[in-house]
Amino acid sequence: MVNKLTVLDGGLFTTIQDKGRIGFRKYGVPASGVIDIRSYTLANKLVGNSNENPVLECTLKGGKFRFENRSLFSITGATMRVSLNGKEISINRSIIAESGDELELGFAKRGCRSYLAIRGNLILDQLMGSYSTYTIGRFGGFNGRTLKEGDIITWNSLDNEFKTQEAKKEEIPYFSSKLSVRIMIGPEWDWLDQAVKDAFLHAQFEVSSQSNRMGVKLSGETVNAPVQQMISSPVIPGIVQLPPNGQPIILMADGQTIGGYPRIAKVLDEDLWRLGQVKAKDKVKFELVRYVS
């Protein structure tokens, strides 16, 4: 049976994402995919989906949707007011919606991105092994763009026996406005003298309002950028670049595949999801982790 979800309000920036495209960076194609892998995985788990299933990723404000069929859904990620037919409901649990029910996701109070998972398999075309939306390239997901009023998302049911469940306390991440993320040294780390390295590691940066799915831009403090010039070189999500203005940029899921700024550090993959939940004016510090073989 084909089920439908009608978009009444697409929110500020809502796209369809999964784990992303693997193995295409050599062709200049970013991985894309969800920014917060932890919340994404939990959302699918709560509705009994595979952890590969695509979901709706909502940024800052989730929008409004109408279920046209009886459905099982879950919402995880950023703390926000969520209502079903005007009545506030809890996140981090699975909920049954009846045909005609309207779901509304408000503004994020803590965190930045929320995830809406629906039990079943979304009816979408895969591109390079993924359903993820890359809006800059205008491909993937739903017509390569953010969702807007009038769009209809369809999916095939897995079954009609819905079992609701609630996330365990330890499964629910806490989103802080003051974040410390672990890093390892990058290829150009030693281009910095010791005083600059120390300044970078002691600085508390502020998240810029210009941050997006391409990268988290930091401001508030500056670090003396090296004078050496470099040719464009491969980069991956989590790379910390230091442009001439001295304000670091942390590349994220939609970030470019090559870059010309010094790659002074790399955020550990285990901490990268946390950066997917920062918003403007949040604070970020770096903690250097040294591996001893």
Q: How far apart are CA 240 and CA 252, in angstroms?
A: 10
Rounded to the nearest integer, the mean pLDDT of the chain is 95
CATH top-level class for 178-288? mainly beta
Question: If residue 121 lies in a helix (H) or strand (E), which one and from where to where?
Answer: strand 121-122
Q: What angle do CA 190, 192, 198 make, to 5 degrees?
A: 105
Q: Would you say residue 25 has pLDDT above 60?
A: yes
Tell me the pTM.
Answer: 0.95
At residue 192, φ and ψ (nearest 5 deg) are -90, 140
Please give the pLDDT value at position 146: 98
CB neighbours of 186 closer than 8 A, spacing ≥ 6? 239, 240, 262, 263, 264, 265, 266
Q: What angle do CA 257, 277, 21 make, to 5 degrees?
A: 35
* Residue 208 burial (10 A CB sphere; 0-12, 13-18, 19+): middle
Percent of the chain with pLDDT over 70: 99
Please give the pLDDT value at position 260: 93
Please give the pLDDT value at position 292: 45
- Residue 128 corresponds to which tokens in the numbers above? 């390079």
Q: Would you say residue 39 has pLDDT above 50?
A: yes
At residue 266, φ and ψ (nearest 5 deg) are -140, 125
Please give the pLDDT value at position 293: 41
Residue ranges of the domains in the chain?
Answer: 2-171, 178-288
pLDDT digits (tens, 9 = 90+) for 245-287: 999 999 999 999 999 999 999 999 999 999 999 999 999 999 9
* Residue 24 burial (10 A CB sphere; 0-12, 13-18, 19+): middle
